[in-house]
Amino acid sequence: MSQQDKMYCAGCGVGLQFEDSSKLGYTPEGALQKDPVICQRCYRIKHYNEASSMTLHQDDFLKLLGTIGQKNALVVNIVDLFDFEGSMISGLSRFVGNNPIVLVVNKVDLLPKVTNPNKIVNWVQRQAKEHSLRVVEIVLCSAKKNIGFDRVIEAVQQHRGNRDIYVVGATNVGKSTLINRLISDYSDLDAELTTSQYPGTTLDLVKIPLDDGKFIIDTPGIVYPHRMTEVVTKRDLSKVMPDRPIKPVVFQLNESQTLFFGALARFDFVKGEHQSFTCYISNAIQIHRTKLEKADELYENHKGDMLAPPSKSDVDELPKLVKHAIRIPRGKRMDVLISGLGWIKVNSEAGAELAVHAPKGIKVISRESLI
């Protein structure tokens, strides 16, 4: 196939090839009769929800992002409210230059129903400022429940002017679902992007023509290995990623007590006054309380059975747990985030010495309380 005849997958944007089924872009020649034409990988994701481990290297993602700063564009940055810090694109302000950003905060449906949306928006505003993002609007939404999407469309229309729209985000934040909605509102294109719950689905820049001659440009999702969703097995991904509102679990702890989140992570209350901690974690994960002095032994003896997920057969696939010492100063309302797994809210302002054990490479931070 010559360069000018090259065809591209309507699902993920990768160049199609017919020779090697183990490489990106493979499609059987018979699939060319279909409209739109998609690669075998996208076909399997779309019809069988099968994962594929093929993704672009992170350097290539960053090169693609680096082109946005030279364009006159509206940037739609979609982030995951359940893993806000873990899904933020590091240094995005450098990549996009002076282009305005609409910050779309997805998965708002996972928060308890009593949560005040205005307080969430104010919290996101402060976080965006810390990341030096020039945000023209923040929109809370749920791609899954179709909440807030009309406002997303209105915000894009309001701020776009005569510009292309670049959609950026990490993997697993709901980006392709947003793109499909933009296509249905702005373009008469029949082809939809491939959507999948598995990381790294969109592989190249996908340009979707708009009725006014401009484009929606979908960039690949950046795979951030510092998120729990990237290190658990496919079997455990559905347990780690909640699919319904979280029911917060409150524990009254004395110092020298420990909480295990399956065998995925551990939270030690090392020192401080008796106080309560609220866990915002997928309700599919069992939380087990024990004494700090027994925690190491409990983990070694029960990881994969009483402490699960992961299962006995998968527990050794998880990177070794690494300890993060965290000090919560007196007078502060703080969360401790374990990226991709959830967060623990420290309810007291009495201060606390904590330690979090998480798989090596997973981001663990303290932050101003979200709720």
- Give the pLDDT score at 200: 62
Both tokens of 365, joined, read 């931070």
For residue 2, the model assigns a pLDDT of 43
- Residue-level pLDDT at 192: 64
For the whole model, what pTM was predicted? 0.85
Task: Tell me what pLDDT residue 86 has.
Answer: 93
Architecture in CATH for domain 58-223: 3-Layer(aba) Sandwich (3.40)
Q: Phi and psi (nearest 5°) for 161?
A: 60, -135
Per-residue confidence (pLDDT) for residue 113, from 0 to 100: 85
CA dihedral for 82, 87, 91, 94, sign (positive or negative): negative
Q: What pLDDT does residue 65 have?
A: 76
Enumerate the domain spans of the chain.
Answer: 1-54, 58-223, 238-368
**CA angle, residues 246, 249, 251, in degrees to nearest 5:** 160
- Token readout for 58 is 């992170």
Taking the chain (371 residues) in runs of 10, the rounded mean pLDDT of each run is 67 86 85 85 70 60 80 94 92 88 96 91 95 92 88 92 90 79 70 60 70 82 86 91 94 98 98 98 97 97 96 92 97 96 97 98 97 93
Instruction: Give residue 207's pLDDT.
Output: 76
Calpha distance 155→153 (Å, rounded):
5
Q: How far apart are CA 126 and CA 45, in angstroms?
A: 37
pLDDT tens for 146-182 read 899 889 989 998 999 999 999 998 877 888 778 777 7
Q: What is the pLDDT of residue 101?
A: 95
The pLDDT value recorded for residue 321 is 97
